[in-house]
Amino acid sequence: MMLSFFDQFMSPTYLGVPLIALALSLPWILYPKPAPRWLNNRLVTLQGWFINRFTQQIFQPLSLGGHKWAALLASLMLFLITLNMLGLLPYTFTPTTQLSLNMAFAVPLWLATVIIGMRNQPTHALGHLLPEGTPTLLIPVLIIIETISLFIRPLALGVRLTANLTAGHLLIQLIATAAFVLLPLMPTVAILTAILLFLLTLLEVAVAMIQAYVFVLLLSLYLQENV
């Protein structure tokens, strides 16, 4: 039976039970945990250095009130990177190619930043909907446009992550299929296609990390506007 290229994005099931919950819980087992010793091993030290550098870069522009989000956003960053990287392995499923999952990450966190802004500084938060010095005739139009752009933010977060990962997986599968088909017909072209596939895989590794970083970075920018 011929399989569609999009079958790889279907949530796997076993005896009718969706395994996406298992795919979301297993990555936490892979993280190294600190040992009860004075000195940690190299892997734990590298992980701690990465988390420290990430939190410094993300939260340096934020006020002290936004630093309460450090543990949440750092955990989300590690979680998304792990899911994206594991999805590049053969015979694996990438949960972050599902728009519903990405929206489940984006909407509550974006809504939390908006609620914080409305609670702490409502005048400043509502001031973003109307730039200073706007002509009187343009005030209703600009308020509508800024409100729409505000509510599009979580959709943009989820769609950006889904589209980039889905496009990369589809391109890898297309080129791998082409290399497999061309191998008995034109071995030289198949070898060149395989080299292209290897380079594309390296690019997808970078995309998997960059998209997780961009997701958290945009959330921190939304938080910066409301803190």
Is the CB of residue 216 less than 8 Å from the CB of residue 57?
no
**What is the largest distance, in Å, between two alpha-carbon atoms of the chain?**
71
Report the sign of the C-alpha dihedral through residues 155, 158, 162, 163, in that order: positive
CA atoms within 13 A on the CB side of 203: 13
User: What is the pTM assigned to this prediction?
Assistant: 0.84
> How confident is the model at residue 2, as a pLDDT?
45
Residues in the chain with pLDDT < 50?
1-2
DSSP string, 89-152: STT---GGG-HHHHHHHHHHHHHHHHHHHHHH-HHHHHHTTS-TT--GGGHHHHHHHHHHHHHH
3-state secondary structure at position 17: strand
The encoded tokens of residue 175 equal: 């080129």
CB-based contact 32:48 (threshold 8 Å):
no
3-state secondary structure of 185: coil
Which amino acid makes up residue 170?
Answer: L
